[in-house]
Amino acid sequence: MTANRLASEPSAWPPMREELRGLQPYGAPQLDVAVQLNVNENPYGPSHAVVADVATAVAEATGSLNRYPDREFVELREALAAYLGHGLVSAQVWAANGSNEVMLQILQAFGGPGRVALSFAPTYSMYPEYARDTNTEWVVGHRESDFSLDLDAARDLVLDRKPSVVLLPSPNNPTGTALPPEAVTMLCEAAASYQPGGLVVVDEAYGEFRRSGTPSALELLPRHRNLVVTRTMSKAFALAGARVGYLAAAPEICDAIRVVRLPYHLSAVTQAVALAALRHAPELLGQVDVLRAERDKTVGWLREQALLVADSDANFALFGTFEDRHAVWQGLLDRGVLIREVGPDGWLRVSIGTAEEMAAFKQALMQVMEEGKSDE
């Protein structure tokens, strides 16, 4: 029987790309746990007023779902440009289904065979996957022990490898480290100094959570035509379920991405939801200050427990180090608290939730560490 013959050759079926065979899809476990602090979501759901407005907008869009949506999503680009400020106009804005899709499109348009994408580890684990999926060579430099960048070494690596795309999350995931503007400027200049030059993508997925005094790379856009700043509605904006991410860059860069995007990639429903949500931006972003304060308290508390904690400008904290981090992660899960096993060996990452969720996390962690001591 055909099925049996295929079963006896598991590696040959399905006939996948050689380099993808046996790989697991990316993603944190989606478990039904009381306290979910593992994927950096905003713990505060939308208010009744926001729900009602989004529902009305979706109902209106539903009336014409027999038609394809506006392929250029002009109204949404205008609304995003107005939201970002900094004098940006719609031709400088692009959006897709999450900033993950935005970054994949950047690599589809600017990466590819014979080209290099570069970042500095530890960093976001999706970047090497965009590179792999677009046949772009992946080059990774390293961060210092405090997870900052050695600027001279970073520039030398860029000049040496001449990447087409440099991916720089700021604040970085999973460490929470923000980049100083000098770093962005230096790397933009380095990436503009060879032919045909490279893009510097500053991934500001957590930009809204920066501590005061840390500027956004949006301010540098007028100075560097090869700078791209990506943002998302998934984190501070409390809209992870809607899948909306976007970028600000030179109009030529947006036009280049239009060549590779799928037709009508942003559904009419997605556009309607995003537009309605943007009308409520102040309210949706209203808990950001609460989360920043909770973040600073959490970092302080973890340090009081004699743990190492990376300075964080994001809505999470990376802490450690544990001899057996998996045991700590499992101990927390056994107590109904789900965090993330990610980053360098020995470290764990906790997203910032509500005050009640953080209290549950602290209590569970104290118990797990107590137990660890008595096991010794």
Ligand X SMILES: *Cc1c(COP(=O)(O)O)cnc(C)c1O
How many alpha carbons fall within 13 Å on the CB side of residue 82? Answer: 10
- Which of residues 170, 173, 226, 270 is near ligand X by CB under 6 A? 173
Which of 38, 99, 216, 312 is the binder for ligand X (CB under 6 A)? 99
Asked whether the beta carbons of 107 and 155 are under 8 A apart, the reply is no
How far is the C-alpha of 271 from the C-alpha of 263, rounded, in Å?
Answer: 14
Q: Which residue has the tokens 């590696």?
A: 11
The whole-angstrom separation of Cα 224 and Cα 186 is 10
Tokens of 62: 């539903």
Sequence-ordered alpha helix ranges (H) in the chain = 2-7, 48-62, 74-84, 99-110, 127-133, 151-161, 181-191, 251-260, 268-279, 281-284, 288-304, 325-334, 355-375
Which residue, 162 or 312, has its beta carbon nearer to ligand X?
Answer: 312
Nearer to ligand X, 149 or 364 (CB): 149
The stretch among 22-30, 92-100, 290-298, 343-351 that binds ligand X (CB under 6 A) is 92-100
43 binding ligand X? (CB under 6 A) = no
Q: Shortest gap between Cβ of 363 and ligand X (angstroms)?
A: 27
Q: Please say whether the beta carbons of 94 and 246 come within 8 A.
A: yes
Task: Answer yes or no whether residue 98 interacts with ligand X by CB under 6 A.
Answer: yes
One residue of 109, 188, 202, 205 binding ligand X per CB under 6 A: 205
- The interface mask with ligand X, positions 276-295, x = CB under 6 A, is --------------------
Nearer to ligand X, 284 or 364 (CB): 284
Within 327-346, the residues that bind ligand X by CB under 6 A are none
Decide: is 124 part of the binding site for ligand X (CB under 6 A): yes
Binding segment for ligand X among 8-16, 84-92, 98-106, 343-351 (CB under 6 A)? 98-106
Q: Which is nearer to ligand X, 205 or 276 (CB)?
A: 205
Q: Tell me which long-range contacts 238-242 makes (C-beta under 8 A, separation of at least 24).
A: 238/41, 238/42, 238/44, 238/45, 238/46, 238/284, 238/287, 239/273, 239/274, 239/277, 239/284, 240/39, 240/41, 240/42, 242/270, 242/273, 242/274, 242/277
Site for ligand X in 231-270 (CB under 6 A): 232, 234-235, 240, 245
Give the residue at shortest CB distance from ligand X. 98
Question: Phi/psi at 228 (nearest 5 deg)?
Answer: -125, 130
Closer of 101 and 294 to ligand X (Cβ): 101
For the chain, count helices (H), then strands (E): 13, 12
Q: In the complex with ligand X, which residue's Cβ is closer, 54 or 239? A: 239
Q: Is 177 near ligand X (CB under 6 A)?
A: no
Minimum CB distance to ligand X smaller for 238 or for 253: 238
- The angle that helices 355-375 and 325-334 make with each other, rounded to 10 degrees, is 120
Q: From CA 264, how far away is CA 310, in angstroms rounded? A: 41
* Single residue of 69, 141, 163, 169 touching ligand X by CB under 6 A: 169
Smallest distance from ligand X to CB 367, Å: 29
Least distance in Å: CB of 185 to ligand X?
A: 21
What is the binding site for ligand X (CB under 6 A)?
40, 98-100, 124, 169, 173, 203, 205, 232, 234-235, 240, 245
